[in-house]
Amino acid sequence: MTTALITHADCLNHVTPEGHPERVARLEHILHALEPLDLKRVTAPMAAEDDILRIHPASYLSDLRKASPVEGWAQIDGDTFMSPGSLDAAFRAAGAVVRGVDMVLGGEVQNAFAAVRPPGHHAETDTAMGFCLFGNAALAAKHALDHHGLSRVAVVDFDVHHGNGTQDLLWDEPRVLVITSQQMPLWPGSGRPDEDGAHGQILNMPLPPGSGRAEMQAAYETQAFPRLRDFKPELIIISAGFDAHQDDPLASLNWATADFAWITAELCKLASELCGGRIVSTLEGGYDLNALAAATRAHVEELMKAPA
């Protein structure tokens, strides 16, 4: 079995203003780092509008279309910008995770990594924010449930920022277990343990600034992994943000590259135990170019080594 790498050149046409951390070079560095690996390379399709509408209202989509600039930038919120190529990039990013779910559930590959931007986990039902336009991870989960007929999907989000968008989009969805670790306090401010979803199906694990491997492993081993075993997902979606890295300029956790390998390997073991190894991972944050490339490569190499 193989690992799919799903991406599209359109994701490089989402251009942000000079100095913006979520920049084209992020994906360029990642693709360069993954170049030597023996992956099944897949071109991301555009997501169908019906897929987007599983998580966002039609009014949100038409607002984004209206906002999409012909040249220069449209500022959607304090730190979220659209360039002329952004909407297509967002449709490719969403299409990549949908294709990943189709391939993994169809048995074409064991797992998949969507190397895409814009990222997704801050996009709420009708609000773009935090560099994100469409909620890719939540969309992947909904597609697996509603299109493929699964009953239980888990989303695990180890980006250093709270996945407020994923939480918002899946707040009332009893078929999805959402597990998210984040530095707290840190933007966007949400992600307390008492934010646990309409059905108690959301697990928030705040981590203190300056913490590293010991705190991260303790949170996952004592809270996240037992919840995954109890829930018995049929598919695991990973919101793979690499900004908990010690070199990241936007946050202050102290994860090393090896810690991203550890969390990925552990999730692969759990996926093997619970759901035939089925994992779809999608890129979220990570803003130090070298740390991002190294941690992403470590993540993908563990996906490639994963037991079936």
Residues known to be catalytic: 122
Q: What does DSSP say about strands 80-82 and 111-114: parallel, antiparallel, or unpaired?
A: unpaired
243 binds Zn ion (CB under 5 A): yes
161 binds Zn ion (CB under 5 A): yes
Q: Which of residues 28-87 bind Zn ion (CB under 5 A)?
A: none
Neighbours of 139 (CB within 10 A): 29
Q: What span, in angstroms and rounded, lies between the C-alpha atoms of 32 and 186? A: 30
CB of 163 to Zn ion, least distance (A): 9
Beta bridge partner(s), residue 154:
177, 236
119 binds Zn ion (CB under 5 A): no
Beta carbon nearer to Zn ion, 60 or 158: 158
241 binds Zn ion (CB under 5 A): yes
* Residue from 115, 143, 285, 296 binding Zn ion (CB under 5 A): 285
247 binds Zn ion (CB under 5 A): no
Beta carbon nearer to Zn ion, 159 or 247: 159
| Contact range with Zn ion by CB under 5 A, out of 39-47, 94-102, 214-222, 283-291 | 283-291
| Contact range with Zn ion by CB under 5 A, out of 4-12, 14-22, 278-286, 299-307 | 278-286
Beta carbon nearer to Zn ion, 173 or 243: 243
Q: What span, in angstroms and rounded, lies between the C-alpha atoms of 201 and 175? A: 8
CB of 108 to Zn ion, least distance (A): 30
CB of 73 to Zn ion, least distance (A): 21
Beta carbon nearer to Zn ion, 183 or 201: 183
* Residue from 10, 51, 159, 259 binding Zn ion (CB under 5 A): 159
| Contact range with Zn ion by CB under 5 A, out of 78-86, 132-140, 240-248, 272-280 | 240-248
Beta carbon nearer to Zn ion, 174 or 249: 249
CB of 306 to Zn ion, least distance (A): 24
Residue whose CB is nearest to Zn ion in the complex, by number: 285
Q: What span, in angstroms and rounded, lies between the C-alpha atoms of 249 and 64? A: 29
CB of 284 to Zn ion, least distance (A): 6
197 binds Zn ion (CB under 5 A): no
157 binds Zn ion (CB under 5 A): no
Output the DSSP codes for the chain.
--EEEEE-GGGGS----TT-SS-HHHHHHHHHHHTTS--EEEEPPPPPHHHHTTTS-HHHHHHHHHH--SSS-EEEETTEEE-TTHHHHHHHHHHHHHHHHHHHHTTS-SEEEE--SS--TT-BTTB-BTTBSS-HHHHHHHIIIIIT--S-EEEEE--SS--HHHHHHTTT-TTEEEEEEEESS-TT----TT---TTS-EEEEEE-TT--HHHHHHHIIIIIHHHHHHH--SEEEEEE--TTBTT-TT----B-HHHHHHHHHHHHHHHHHHHTT-EEEEE----SHHHHHHHHHHHHHHHHH---
| Contact range with Zn ion by CB under 5 A, out of 29-37, 73-81, 196-204, 285-293 | 285-293
CB of 197 to Zn ion, least distance (A): 21
Binding stretches for Zn ion (CB under 5 A): 159, 161, 241, 243, 285
